[in-house]
Amino acid sequence: MQQPNNEEAAQLQLNQVAVNVVVGQSVRPLLQNIDLTVQPGEFVTVLGANGAGKSTLFNAITSDVPLAGGTITLAGHDISAAKRERRAHLIARVFQDPKMGTAPRMTVAENLALASRRGQRLTLASRQLKAQFSAFEKLAAQTGNGLEKALNKPTEELSGGQRQALSLLMATMRRPELLLLDEHTAALDPHTSEAIMTLTQQIVAREQLTCLMITHQLEDALTYGSRLIVLQAGHIVADYSGEAKAQLTRADLLQYFG
């Protein structure tokens, strides 16, 4: 029987990806020889000390920094040389800062309406907004933090937790080929952070999303996701999945933060 081709089935494939930065007269490598194959529906937590290259890895995938070498394929498309807008169509990213994901002066409903039309002509006809309102109420109710009662509020009036929940809903309401979570709970208190992680887990599982999540919370890295990778000085130095990830402990992970 023919074996399935791992690379063909992959949702995300990084092949020998390199990113450099020019500092004065010298070229400094930020990412080196990154090979990473992520299958559809895999939820990968990304760990590493400050400056290890985690955000640069995300920036390389989203085309926010140019590649010095290598290729990136997403859902069968070679996106190595794709324009940023093209990648934005395929990839959703939630940042650490709750202010980054939403338009502050626009209401929650208006933000959701725009996200529902990502990649299409952006219009905000009040007729359309009304038609979507009850769907937005239902969507927002799943956050468990009262967002559904704030649909007519500008997002700048929301709490950090509500705003981050909204960012997550907006990032996923049109199913992305890849969801990037960039320390998306780091600015929240422990209770709110846990609630956002529970919501994240529910959405990723329900929509069977392929997801990479940067975190500094070892507990979250152990609890969530089906796979865990560790970056050190621009290299992937560890990759655990299945039983190996299930067996990991805090102490195992701490060794990477010497």
Strand runs labelled E in the chain: 12-23, 26-38, 43-47, 69-74, 77-78, 91-94, 178-182, 211-214, 227-232, 235-241
Whether 213 and 168 have beta carbons less than 8 Å apart is answered as: no
Query: In whole angstroms, how close is the CB of 229 to ligand ATP at the nearest point?
Result: 12
Give the residue with the Cβ less far from ligand ATP, 31 or 108: 31
In whole angstroms, give the CA distance from residue 144 to residue 159. Answer: 13
Q: How far is the CB of 96 from ligand ATP (least distance, A)?
A: 8
- Cβ 210 vs Cβ 9: under 8 Å: no
| Smallest distance, ligand ATP to C-beta of residue 166, A | 23
Specify the residue for token string 């990648």: 87
Nearer to ligand ATP, 52 or 173 (CB): 52
Q: At its nearest, how many Å lie between ligand ATP and the CB of residue 244?
A: 23
The residue (of 94 and 169) whose beta carbon lies closer to ligand ATP is: 94
Closest separation in Å from C-beta 127 to ligand ATP: 43
How many Å apart are CA 52 and CA 232, to the nearest integer? 5
CB 144 within 8 A of CB 199: yes
Q: How far apart are the C-alpha atoms of 139 and 73, rounded to whole Å? A: 31
Largest CA distance in the chain: 59
- The residue with tokens 């933090």 is 145
* Nearest distance in Å: CB 48, ligand ATP: 5
Of 32 and 192, the one with the shorter C-beta distance to ligand ATP is 32
Contact set with ligand ATP (CB under 6 A):
21, 23, 30, 48, 50-56
The letter for the amino acid at 183 is: E
For residue 125 the two structure tokens come to: 């006809």
Please provide the size of the chain in residues.
Answer: 258
Choose between 199 and 231: whose C-beta lies nearer to ligand ATP. Answer: 231
Closer CB to ligand ATP, 99 or 235, in the complex: 235
